[in-house]
Amino acid sequence: MKTIALFPKVKQPDAKKLAEQVITFLKEKKIHVVVEDDKAEVLNQPPLSSANPGEIKYLITMGGDGSILRVAHMYHYLDAAILGINLGHLGFMADVQIADIIPCLEDLVNQKFSIQKRIMIEGTSPSGETFFAMNDCVLHRARNPSLVEMAIYVDDLYLNTFEADGVILATPNGSTAYSLAAGGPILSPDIEAFVLTPICPHTISNRPIVLTPNQEIQIEYVSENEPIEVVSDGLSRFELQTGETIKLRRSPKTFKLVNLTRIDFFSTLRTKLGWSGKLR
C-alpha cells in the first residue's frame, strides 16, 4: 500500500485524539501518512504538500459527508478513493462509525473493499466556465421574495417551465441529500441516472423526473426578477441573470469511494432514515 492522506478535525480534543489513533494504526502497518497542510503541525506529521500526488492511494476524511465533498472539490487533482469516518450523525458517504474505526481500517489494509466510481455532473456557466458536482447542482431563487420561472430543455427538447423556489439536478450520490428533502426519489448509488427535482413548485402536478446521464440538460432563467443562484454541492456558487442558460451533463470524471464489505448502502439507508420495518 502506498501513501494515505488524512483530513482530520483537530479543534475538539476527542477528534484530535481519534486522528492520532488513526495515524498510529496506519504507521504500525508500515503506511506512509500525510496530513492536510493546516493540520500537519498540530499532529506532528508530514504535510500533504510534501507528498507526490501520484503516490497517494487513498484519502481518509474525518467529519461527515460535507467533509468528503469539501476534500473532493479542493483536492480534485488527486486520483484517489475516499474513505469517510463519521464524527457526528451517520452519513451516506462517511459511513464509518467511531466504534468501527479500527476494524474498518483493518479491512482497508487487507483490501477487503471495492471502489465505487460514482457519476458526477459537469456544468457550463453562461460565461463558459466549467464546474462540477458530486451531489447536486441547485438553482435557487436567492434574493427573490417570490417564486421564479426556469425553462428546462433536455437535449434541446423542451421539457417544462417550472415556477418554483428552484430546481435540483442530483446524481444518485446526491439523491439522498437536498433532492430527497424536496421530495425526490432515492436512487441506488450504482445506478447511472440524474434526478431533476423542483423545489416547492407552484403546480402540484410538477414531479421529479429521472433522466439518463447521457442527456444534456439546459436550464434557462426566464423570470424578469433578481438574479438567481447556481450552487454546486453547497460549496461553489454564481448568479444567473434573466435570459441566461446553464448546461448540465455527465462529467467524464468519476467520484471514487471506498466501499467496505462490512458496510452496505441499504443498512446505512435504514439507519439514517430511521426505517423500522413493519408497523405493529
Task: Please give the domain boundaries of the chain with CATH numbers for all domains.
Answer: 3-112+261-273 (3.40.50.10330), 120-252 (2.60.200.30)
Give the global pTM.
0.93
Q: Is the pLDDT of residue 118 over 70?
A: yes
The Cα–Cα gap between 68 and 81 comes to 11
Average pLDDT over residues 237-264: 95
| 190 among annotated binding-site residues | no
Residue tagged 434526478 (cell numbers) = 195
135 is in an annotated binding site: yes
91 is in an annotated binding site: no
**Average pLDDT of the chain?**
94
Distance CA 65, CA 83 (A): 11
- Residue 107 annotated as binding? no
Among the options 14, 65, 156, 190, which is catalytic? Answer: 65
Asked whether the predicted pLDDT for residue 239 surpasses 80, the reply is: yes
List pLDDT tens digits, range 214-226: 999 999 999 999 9
**160 pLDDT above the threshold of 90:** yes
65 is catalytic: yes
Least confident of 13-17, 75-79, 169-173: 13-17
Ranges of beta strands (E only) in 24-129 are 33-35, 56-63, 81-86, 113-124
pLDDT value of position 162: 95
Q: Is the pLDDT of residue 278 over 70?
A: no
Dist CA 209 CA 194 (whole Å): 8
Percent of the chain with pLDDT over 70: 98
